Amino acid sequence: MNQPPQSVPAPRGDASDRERKDKWAGWSLGLGIASFIPLVGPPLGLVGLALGVLALAGRTRRRARAVAGVCLSTAGVWLYVFFGFIAPWFRLGPRMPQRAACAANLNSIGKGYHIYLADYDVPPPNVQALIAAGTSAQLFKCPMAKGNRPSDYFFLPASGPDAERTTIVACDFRGNHKDGRNILYHSGSVRWTDEETFQAELAQPHNAAFAAALKKAEGPPPKPRPLWPR
């Protein structure tokens, strides 16, 4: 009499491998949830994503957990990328061309400054002297400035040709840009910096004359508005 075929038990190695994949699915779900924690979330999300993919590739019995872990981990990592990199670009993006145009203006002014130094062996005394020597008056208009100044840049020449290279000779007036200023140095280089760093540079001894003259031209800084109206 023929006996019915009996099922062959799975090898122990295959069972332990399946259990390991099931654990990976659980870990993927847990790390996917943790991927929304600030700072530590993105690396946890990457690990959760990798474990979820491996669990699915290994045909885990906890497929729903693995899928949820992959989705949550991906969402956590993309949120970090968006708010850390993409969102700031959208905030600063529209102002970047104007900032670059402003820097280009100061760079051209710096070239005119050094041509004047080479021709006369002394720095130009003022903006009008630079324009008379051939520097275009249009270069002194910042694309972000809203005032009616003859020049949107404050200019004060260095004490002489042998002045410190990092002596400031021109910069944006306060208010041209909301988040900083372009600066022209005696060396001819142009740099963008935030207001706090700019004030620290003004405090250097070789910038004392420029700082005093700029303070007189701009007046005292505006007082910060109170958080709550009185």
Domain ranges of the chain: 16-87, 95-218
Mean pLDDT of 151-176: 90
Render pLDDT for 42-57 as a digit per residue (tens, 0 to 9): 788 788 888 888 888 8
pLDDT at 7 over 70: no
Confidence (pLDDT) at 182: 94
173 band by pLDDT with thresholds 50, 70 and 90: very high
Q: What is the mean pLDDT of the chain?
A: 82
Torsion over CA: 198, 203, 205, 209 (sign): positive
Q: Give the global pTM.
A: 0.59
Confidence (pLDDT) at 45: 79
9 band by pLDDT with thresholds 50, 70 and 90: low
Render pLDDT for 91-136 as a digit per residue (tens, 0 to 9): 545 567 788 889 999 999 999 999 999 999 898 999 999 999 999 9
Confidence (pLDDT) at 222: 66
Do residues 141 and 109 lie in contact, with contact meaning Cβ atoms separated by under 8 Å? Answer: no
Confidence (pLDDT) at 48: 83
Amino acid type, 229: P
Do residues 120 and 155 lie in contact, with contact meaning Cβ atoms separated by under 8 Å? Answer: no
